[in-house]
């Protein structure tokens, strides 16, 4: 069976997340490279105080994802597909050989800083569970106005969708969603209105930064955020990385593409296990694991066993 590596995005972070990575030489090399490229110890970016910054969060997630991937790679394990949620897409792009890790660090730092400057306060994201897309879109349309903008953003599952915008607009939708039968409607620990048109200017500036970076054809198929397709053209991947910050993440549809293309072992890179839980619910016949929940050794063992069975 084919293997897919899943790289989580913002919201999965926790203090000390880099300390939980496998104690492998390959991991240390990635952490040292990140510290050298940034001219600051990446361990300083994973404290509770530091993680209040969107920039620190995104750099930490990129570093954790790439380090975990390198740990698997050092054991001879290479996935058949990679997919990253939001900023996790940069980890996926590095894993696929599309962009260099140092270039990714530089651009993700720019990405975080642009997002923080654009909406420093009063904006964020919420999540609604147990309500279908059409019904939620109706509530969002009713709540929207220019002073209190709110948009649908990430489709993580058919019944788990995030909304982005002003905190007041989000709260309107959450209140209505609860009254209309949603099983859960709550704010997320995210301080920017990601994946909606409010960040269109960020996408434009990000595209300029990405234009100066060498992009290569992936040696591992990369599932895009915006259009939920396997992307092979470097131009398409560059566009996906630039525009996903202001576009809805079609995560459920992207994971379906992985499954339809034969992925039956899905392993979520650290930190967290949200993507693994979504996959387990969507694909009960697949084997789903996360490094955070199952441990690197167990994930490595199953992946190695799968590799031997394919020979």
- Rounded to whole angstroms, the Cα distance separating 119 from 96 reads 32
Residue among 227, 285, 248, 253 at smallest CA distance from 158: 253
Tell me which of 60, 153, 166, 195 is the catalytic residue.
195
Q: Active-site residue 86, yes or no?
A: yes
At residue 161, the 3 state secondary structure works out as strand
- Rounded to whole angstroms, the Cα distance separating 174 from 184 reads 9
User: Dihedral of CA 266/267/269/273: which sign?
Assistant: positive
Tell me which of 12, 86, 153, 203 is the catalytic residue.
86
Contacts of 152 (CB under 8 A, 6+ apart): 133, 136, 137, 140, 161, 162, 163, 196, 248
The answer to whether residues 271 and 8 touch, using CB atoms and an 8 Å cutoff, is yes
Longest C-alpha distance within the chain, in Å? 60
At residue 225, the 3 state secondary structure works out as coil
Q: Active-site residue 23, yes or no?
A: no
Neighbours of 301 (CB within 10 A): 13
Quote the strand ranges of 85-130, DSSP E.
123-129
- Mind telling me the catalytic residues? 86, 195
């Amino acid at each position: 069976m084919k293997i897919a590596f899943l790289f989580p995005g913002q919201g999965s972070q926790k203090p000390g997340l880099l300390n939980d990575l496998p104690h492998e030489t390959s991991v240390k090399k990635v952490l040292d490279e990140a510290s050298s490229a940034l001219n600051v110890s990446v361990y300083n970016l994973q404290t509770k105080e530091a993680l209040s910054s969107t920039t620190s969060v995104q750099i930490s997630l990129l570093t954790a994802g790439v380090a975990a991937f390198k740990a698997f790679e050092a054991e001879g394990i290479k996935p058949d597909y990679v997919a990253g949620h939001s900023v996790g897409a940069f980890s996926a792009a590095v894993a696929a050989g599309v962009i260099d890790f140092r270039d990714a660090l530089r651009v993700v730092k720019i990405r975080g800083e642009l997002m923080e400057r654009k909406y420093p306060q009063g904006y964020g994201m919420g999540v609604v569970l147990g309500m279908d897309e059409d019904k939620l879109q109706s509530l969002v349309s009713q709540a929207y106005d220019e002073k209190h903008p709110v948009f649908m953003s990430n489709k993580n599952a058919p019944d788990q969708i995030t909304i982005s915008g002003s905190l007041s607009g989000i709260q309107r939708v959450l209140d209505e969603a609860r009254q209309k039968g949603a099983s859960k409607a709550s704010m997320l620990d995210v301080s920017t209105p990601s994946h909606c048109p409010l960040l269109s200017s960020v996408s434009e500036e990000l595209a300029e930064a990405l234009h100066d970076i060498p992009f290569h054809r992936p040696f591992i198929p990369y599932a895009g955020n915006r259009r939920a397709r396997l992307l092979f053209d470097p131009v398409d991947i560059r566009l996906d990385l630039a525009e996903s910050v202001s576009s809805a993440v079609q995560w459920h549809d992207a994971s379906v593409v992985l499954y339809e293309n034969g992925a039956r072992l899905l392993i979520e890179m650290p930190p967290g296990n949200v993507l693994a839980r979504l996959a387990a619910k969507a694909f009960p016949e697949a084997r789903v694991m996360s490094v955070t929940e199952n441990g690197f050794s167990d994930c490595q063992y199953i992946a190695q066993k799968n590799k031997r069975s394919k020979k």
